[in-house]
């Protein structure tokens, strides 16, 4: 490993790229004969499995270093410090297990957490869970809401037995199918639209049956312990408490194949939107005509038949905007009242295009609309117009007044969403007050997630939910406010932070600061954050 003699970042980068490309090629061509079906995302547009690639990379590195543990460790550390996001990401996947072998738990936690700043990666989340558990097993309690370590062996989740969703996860724009309402909480695609799969292949194929197996066996292998609000809040029901006859039969007979259609379908395969919110994207996205034709074909051949003549809750959409997307608009207007009487339509939108005129144009589809959820991300004009570009506060507030009137007339349920970040978290209490003025039934606060719109440094700068952030303690103070404890407020995966903050309520300021320092230390965050 001659590059080590030079101690240059160029040498580390060259080595990292060599290992990464070799690992991706080995995985793509299945040179090891692994034939992995459920593949974890991790390398942007690549189909490479992050877990497999990291293990191949480590094996290659061991060969190059002739088994010299110190050389291997030095190489991985050098690659992890690079400003090349892909190489550093790859290096952290290798570094975390090496730190664990050395019982350097803080460093293992830090390596796994660094990848969260880059993108969603189930392998990195698993390494974070493994690192935190290892630290706890060595007698150090790790407080806070960074990753749930709850024992789930006696718990149950109904979603893989009744839910199907579509999303791209921004992985090259490919439409994938997922066994959960939120693809980020169970980010293993069952298949892709271009594979021309049938409904039965999706709904009872080997992949979804393996996910169901993981739920029934209580290992929850494929579920995100940071993004799933049920896991984060510890609210998954116990298996022995399930009374629904269908689910009871599934549990008692360990059924991984089910004989009824999904009860929940969530669509997020068209990212088209009239906004370019920094938390979501770098520019306004509109799919091209050719791609839209493919999406329309997907609707006609698979999605509409899936929900026809059945009782189903249909959400449009988890990505993009229901009214900015020509594809989604066509799909929505295809829902005639006779064939789709059992559809309960949940519209998720930025609200700017949902005017009285647009509502009127829905015609009979209005009868199918059960709820409208509007993403707003601010309680003040300047904040909203900065975070919801190029949205206008005057437009969204006018449209919210209209939707609020529909809510008061009993025509729709109404909710609002807020992605928590540095520029808006001080307005969380004000946002709850706005929700009250609009008489919404649901106010949801969502933790910031890196899906590629931020650089790693920019994400860390904005993610105040991270205990390493200098404003994190201020976030905890806000989470203790009575307004954030109201029944209509849902903190999702931020709930553990609120629980931790509430425990500090009775402490003196000195003790609070001491607890916060202990929290940072326990999470392995005593070192300064990388720029």
Q: Going by DSSP bridges, is the β-strand pair 163-167/176-178 parallel, antiparallel, or unpaired?
A: antiparallel
Distance separating alpha carbons of residues 177 and 267, to the nearest angstrom? 9
Give the count of alpha carbons within 13 A of 346, CB side only.
16
Distance separating alpha carbons of residues 422 and 493, to the nearest angstrom? 17
- Residue with tokens 């009744």, as numbered in its chain: 162
In terms of pLDDT, which residue wins out, 444 or 466?
444
* CA distances for 38 relative to 121, 179, 249, angstroms: 13, 12, 26
Residue 51 pLDDT > 60 = yes
Longest dimension (CA), the chain: 74
b/e sequence 240-263, b meaning 16+ C-beta within 10 Å: eebeeebbeebbeeebbebeebbb
pLDDT band at residue 512 under the 50/70/90 scheme = low
Distance separating alpha carbons of residues 476 and 58, to the nearest angstrom? 39
The CA-CA-CA angle for residues 293, 167, 96, to 5°, reads 140
Give long-range contacts, CB 8 A cutoff, 24+ apart: 70-78. 71/1, 71/4, 72/98, 73/98, 74/4, 75/1, 75/4, 75/12, 75/15, 78/7, 78/9, 78/12
Task: Say if CB 49 and CB 41 are below 8 A apart.
Answer: no
Distance separating alpha carbons of residues 514 and 215, to the nearest angstrom? 39
Q: What is the pLDDT of residue 172?
A: 57
Residue 374 pLDDT > 60 = yes
Report the pLDDT averaged over residues 381-397: 98
Q: What is the pLDDT of residue 522?
A: 42
Q: What is the pLDDT of residue 69?
A: 87
* Window from 21-25, 237-241, 411-415, 443-447 with minimum mean pLDDT: 21-25
Residue 336 pLDDT > 70 = yes
Task: Say if CB 402 and CB 414 are below 8 A apart.
Answer: no
Residue 236 zone, left/alpha/beta (φ > 0; ψ -120 to 50; rest): beta
* CA distances for 51 relative to 39, 168, 393, 468, 508, angstroms: 9, 20, 44, 26, 45
**Mean of all residue pLDDT scores within the chain:** 88
Residue 31 pLDDT > 60 = no
pLDDT band at residue 524 under the 50/70/90 scheme = very low
Q: What is the pLDDT of residue 527?
A: 39
pLDDT band at residue 529 under the 50/70/90 scheme = very low
* CA distances for 322 relative to 194, 274, 307, 438, angstroms: 23, 10, 18, 21
Q: Which residues contact residue 216 at a Cβ distance below 8 angstroms, ignoring those fewer than 6 apart?
A: 250, 251, 254, 256
Distance separating alpha carbons of residues 337 and 244, to the nearest angstrom? 29
Q: Indicate the pTM of the whole model.
A: 0.86
Q: What is the pLDDT of residue 503?
A: 84
Task: Say if CB 124 and CB 91 are below 8 A apart.
Answer: no
Q: Which residues contact residue 188 at a Cβ distance below 8 angstroms, ignoring those fewer than 6 apart?
A: 38, 39, 40, 122, 178, 179, 207, 211, 222
Distance separating alpha carbons of residues 322 and 273, to the nearest angstrom? 8
């Amino acid at each position: 490993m001659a590059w080590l003699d030079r101690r240059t970042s160029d040498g580390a980068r060259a080595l990292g790229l060599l290992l990464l490309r070799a690992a991706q090629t080995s995985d793509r061509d299945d040179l090891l004969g692994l034939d992995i079906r459920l593949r974890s995302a991790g390398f942007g547009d690549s189909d490479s499995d992050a877990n497999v690639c990291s293990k191949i990379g480590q094996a290659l590195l061991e060969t190059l270093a002739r088994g010299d543990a110190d050389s291997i460790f030095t190489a991985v550390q050098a690659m992890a410090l690079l400003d090349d996001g892909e190489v550093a990401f790859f290096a952290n996947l290798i570094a975390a297990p090496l730190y664990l072998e050395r019982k350097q738990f803080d460093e293992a936690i830090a390596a796994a957490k660094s990848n969260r700043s880059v993108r969603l990666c189930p392998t990195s989340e698993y390494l974070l869970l493994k690192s935190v558990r290892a630290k706890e097993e060595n007698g150090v309690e790790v407080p806070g809401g960074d990753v749930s370590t709850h024992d789930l062996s006696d718990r149950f989740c109904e979603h893989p037995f009744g839910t199907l969703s579509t999303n791209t996860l921004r992985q090259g724009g490919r439409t994938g199918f997922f066994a959960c309402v939120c693809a980020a909480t169970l980010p293993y695609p069952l298949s892709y639209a271009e594979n021309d799969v049938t409904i039965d292949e999706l709904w009872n194929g080997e992949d979804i049956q393996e996910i169901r197996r993981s739920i029934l066996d209580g290992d929850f292998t494929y579920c995100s312990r940071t993004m799933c609000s049920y896991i984060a809040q510890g609210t998954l029901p116990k298996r022995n408490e399930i009374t629904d006859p269908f689910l009871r039969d599934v549990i008692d007979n360990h059924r991984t194949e089910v004989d009824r259609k999904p009860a929940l379908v969530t669509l997020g395969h068209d990212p088209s939107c009239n906004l370019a919110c920094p938390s979501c994207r770098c520019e306004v996205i509109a799919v091209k005509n050719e791609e839209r034709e493919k999406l329309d074909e997907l609707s006609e051949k698979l999605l509409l038949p899936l929900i026809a003549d059945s009782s189903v809750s249909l959400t449009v959409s988890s990505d993009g905007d229901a009214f900015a997307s020509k594809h989604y608009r066509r799909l929505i207007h295809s829902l005639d009242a006779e064939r789709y009487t059992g559809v309960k339509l949940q519209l998720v939108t930025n609200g700017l295009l949902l005017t009285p005129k647009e509502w009127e144009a829905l015609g009979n589809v209005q009868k199918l609309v059960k709820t409208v959820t509007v993403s707003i991300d601010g309680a003040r004009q300047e904040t909203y117009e900065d975070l919801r570009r190029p949205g206008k506060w005057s437009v969204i507030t006018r449209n919210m007044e209209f939707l609020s009137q529909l809510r008061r007339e009993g025509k729709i349920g109404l909710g609002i969403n807020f992605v928590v970040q540095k520029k808006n978290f001080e307005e969380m209490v004000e946002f709850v007050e706005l929700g009250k003025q609009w008489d919404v039934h649901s106010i949801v606060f969502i933790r910031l997630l890196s899906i590629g719109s931020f650089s790693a440094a920019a994400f860390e700068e904005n993610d105040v939910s991270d205990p390493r952030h200098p404003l994190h303690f201020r976030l905890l103070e806000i989470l203790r406010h009575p307004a954030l404890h109201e029944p209509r407020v849902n903190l999702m995966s931020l709930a553990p932070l609120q629980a931790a903050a509430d425990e500090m309520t009775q402490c003196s300021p000195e003790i609070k600061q001491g607890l916060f320092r202990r929290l940072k230390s326990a999470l392995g965050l005593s070192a300064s954050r990388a720029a």
